[in-house]
Structure 1
Amino acid sequence: MLSAVIIDDEPNAVNLLALRLSQHCPQIDVVATCTGSIQGVEAIKIHRPEILFLDIEMPQMNGFQVLEAVGDIAFSLVFVTAYDRFALKAFKYSALDYLLKPIDTQELIATIQKIEKQHQTSPQQIQYLQQQLTGTAKVLPDRLALPYQNGVTFVAVHNILYCESDDKYTRFYLSDGQDYLVTKTLREIQELLEERDFLRVHRQYLINLNRIKKFVRGEGNYIVMDNNQSIPVSRGQKDRLMERFGWL
């Protein structure tokens, strides 16, 4: 069993989440539910939960202030939010789990299954998210959090050369020669980076268009990246690639 605390200033939201967890996630033991942020801080300190479900916009103290008051974060964090589409990008770039109100049961189940396999939330992830959500200009983050087996690393988006599908995982290849295997599918990464000059040129590869060295056409089209790695280009994606660059 994994212990959990729920903090949300909407009583109906708290009760519904607790009910969904009892019905669909029997491995979760909800040890406390709180509709006040100050009460929530005390509950976290008393119960030391393994999972915290936390709303962000609350009176008295918002979600970030609750986390600051708690201090050491020794749990997996799931934000429960009604934020807009742009703000949700910030959650994804921070590699933080979130549930969008009203909560979808299948998304809740998938989130719990992921938490059972991964590391605890890091303070760096929360700090990065807070910076993005409190910024006045709606610009996409310039760094991406990559959760891997030993923790989380933040990489500059422009330093990502390409991503390669590895079944249900994705391997990131960086300009400094390092690579990271993360627990996300290439489709998920594509949705996150396609607005940042990344293109899916093959079912297995997503490339940074700004890090292409050359494109070789022929019977087997392929691209050579900055690190001299050759990446195949599928027939269906060749035209899209040429359109992006205005190649003849």
Structure 2
Amino acid sequence: MIKAVILDDEPRGSRLMEQKLKLFSDEIIIEAVYNLPQTALAEITKVQPDVLFLDVEMPVLNGFQFLERLSEFDFEIIFTTAYNSYILDALRISAVDYLLKPIEEDELRDAIRRLKKRMATKANMPKTPAKTKSISKNKIALPTAEGIHLIEKSQITRIEALSNYSTFILTDKKKIIVSRTLKEYENMLSSDNFMRVNRSVIVNLEFVLKYKRGDGGVLELMDGSEIDVSPNKKEELLAKIF
């Protein structure tokens, strides 16, 4: 059973989302519903959901600011909003889907299908053991609102740009959002097995499963994600992986 949490500042909106999800009660159980981002920040890690149905436009903290304040999370995101101007930002943090209100049943069904597929892929994803080298060379410090995370570089599958933020996506499903640009980390990781393959994504080449031919091509990673390669990066990439 998939454990779900709803965060929508409008009580009417959260009630409608609850009603729609009850149509899928054989697959999804609603663990909590929040109308205040501040309350969700304090409680969501205790709930340990598989997916968060997240509104974007909210007072005090919008959906993206909420994730940045949370800093580290291992659940999936499905955005539910009346605004279509945040779709690219949603894609850059690897959201499962971006549903525009009023949400149609078929669209919700497709989102749940994608969610189940992603969860299954992650469950079968091999874990990369940490390498035993010096801490200074093998780890990276990620400053967030709640403190500094020391992360093994070998546990980073990719880093994605979100405006002036960077989202680190790890092998254990966790995501860490840091208020620094992708360019800073591109320079920091240039000597490691990382490469910026387009304007928005740095990939750990250890997790590349397949290269698909094309203008720039597409990288398929072990977690099932597909990353477009910029044409001007194609030659450099092929030289590195072959």
Letter paired with 1:129: L
Unaligned runs of 5+ in 2: 123-155, 166-194, 201-209
Q: Is the contact between residue 211 and residue 217 of structure 2 (CA under 8 Å) also seen in structure 1?
A: no
What's the RMSD between the two structures over aligned residues? 4.6
Distance 2:212 2:8 in 1: 36
1:75-90 equivalences under 5 Å are: 75-84=75-84, 87-90=86-89
Between the two proteins, the alignment pairs up a number of residues equal to 166
Letter paired with 1:50: D
C-alpha deviations, 1:162-215, integer Å up to 9, x for none?
xxxxxxxx9633789984279699xxx9xx99xx9xxxxxxxxxxx7x89xxxx
Once the 2 structures are TM-superposed, how far is the Cα of residue 65 of structure 1 from its aligned partner?
Answer: 2.7
1:193-208 equivalences under 5 Å are: none
Letter paired with 1:99: L
1:91 matches 2:90: yes
User: In structure 2, what is the equivalent of residue 173 of structure 1?
Assistant: 213
Letter paired with 1:61: L
TM-score (norm 2): 0.52
User: In structure 2, what is the equivalent of residue 129 of structure 1?
Assistant: 162
Letter paired with 2:8: D
1:10 matches 2:10: yes
Q: Is the contact between residue 5 and residue 43 of structure 1 (CA under 8 Å) also seen in structure 2?
A: no
TM-score (norm 1): 0.51
SS in structure 2 of the partner of residue 118 of structure 1: helix
SS in structure 1 of the partner of residue 33 of structure 2: strand
With over 3 angstroms needed to count, the CA separation of the structure-2 counterparts of 1:71 and 1:92, relative to structure 1, is closer
Distance 2:69 2:52 in 1: 14
1:36 matches 2:36: yes
Distance 2:90 2:218 in 1: 24
Which has the bigger relative contact order, CA under 8 A and spacing at least 6? Answer: 2
User: In structure 2, what is the equivalent of residue 101 of structure 1?
Assistant: 101
SS in structure 2 of the partner of residue 106 of structure 1: helix
Letter paired with 1:24: F
Once the 2 structures are TM-superposed, how far is the Cα of residue 118 of structure 1 from its aligned partner?
Answer: 0.9
1:202-241 equivalences under 5 Å are: none
User: In structure 2, what is the equivalent of residue 155 of structure 1?
Assistant: 197
Once the 2 structures are TM-superposed, how far is the Cα of residue 82 of structure 1 from its aligned partner?
Answer: 2.2
Distance 2:196 2:72 in 1: 20
Q: Is the contact between residue 80 and residue 99 of structure 1 (CA under 8 Å) also seen in structure 2?
A: yes
Q: Is the contact between residue 32 and residue 43 of structure 1 (CA under 8 Å) also seen in structure 2?
A: no
Distance 1:41 1:173 in 2: 43
C-alpha deviations, 1:65-114, integer Å up to 9, x for none?
322332321101111122235x3244345542311111121111111111
Identical positions, percent: 31
Once the 2 structures are TM-superposed, how far is the Cα of residue 54 of structure 1 from its aligned partner?
Answer: 1.0
Unaligned runs of 5+ in 1: 133-152, 159-169, 197-207, 212-226, 228-248
User: In structure 2, what is the equivalent of residue 146 of structure 1?
Assistant: none
SS in structure 1 of the partner of residue 32 of structure 2: strand
Distance 2:82 2:159 in 1: 17
Task: State the structure with more CA Rg.
Answer: 1
User: In structure 2, what is the equivalent of residue 114 of structure 1?
Assistant: 114
SS in structure 1 of the partner of residue 12 of structure 2: helix
